[in-house]
Amino acid sequence: MTDSDENFMLQAIALAKTKGTDPSDTPIAAIIVRNRVVISTAVNETADNNDATAHAEIVAIRRAGAALGSADLGDATLYSTLQPCGMCSLASIWANIGRIVYGAARNQVHEMYFEDRTLSTMDYISDAYKDDLALEGPCLGAECAKLYYGPNDDVPEAKQANK
């Protein structure tokens, strides 16, 4: 990780906090950067838009494509405050993103944040034979993990996603 990576992750943390500071607010944020220039930013909009695909990473990819006038986000880096799920990993592959830098790792947060019936992010990337997509993290993992329920938190099942 570089100082630049930490700087962009700090921006993502600040953006996530605009959704709220309670883990139930699902304060996940993503920033897409190319050549050290921010192309797009987004927070999780699933509940706001009643759209299960409106994860922060997906919304950021959509906005970056619109901003660039192209679905090809080659040479871009996606920063996410939480390790991307399978859907967001596959969208990154399709968008030709070159690098993903994530904050909190899967083992730093409650299991509810990940669909446990599917492969991990690393499995999705390796199964797609995507050797030109780097996945790096955790970057400021402890700081990012504070945004979410912890691995041992007793979260009522009714509040849990993916259950």
Residues in the chain: 163
Residue 59: CB atoms within 10 Å: 22
Judged against a pLDDT cut of 90, whether residue 103 lies above it is answered with yes
Round to whole Å and give the CA distance between 44 and 50: 11
More confident residue, 143 or 120: 143
Judged against a pLDDT cut of 70, whether residue 20 lies above it is answered with yes
Round to whole Å and give the CA distance between 58 and 136: 18
pLDDT tens for each residue of 107-125? 999 888 876 655 566 666 6
3-class secondary structure, 158? helix
- List the one residue out of 106, 69, 66 whose CA is nearest residue 88: 106
The residue behind tokens 């906005």 is 63
Say how far residue 124 (Cα) sits from the centre of its chain: 15
Per the annotation, the verdict on 57 as an active-site residue is yes
Q: Which of 45, 57, 115, 157 is catalytic?
A: 57
pLDDT tens for each residue of 41-99? 999 999 999 999 999 999 999 999 999 999 999 999 999 999 998 889 889 989 999 99
Round to whole Å and give the CA distance between 155 and 138: 24
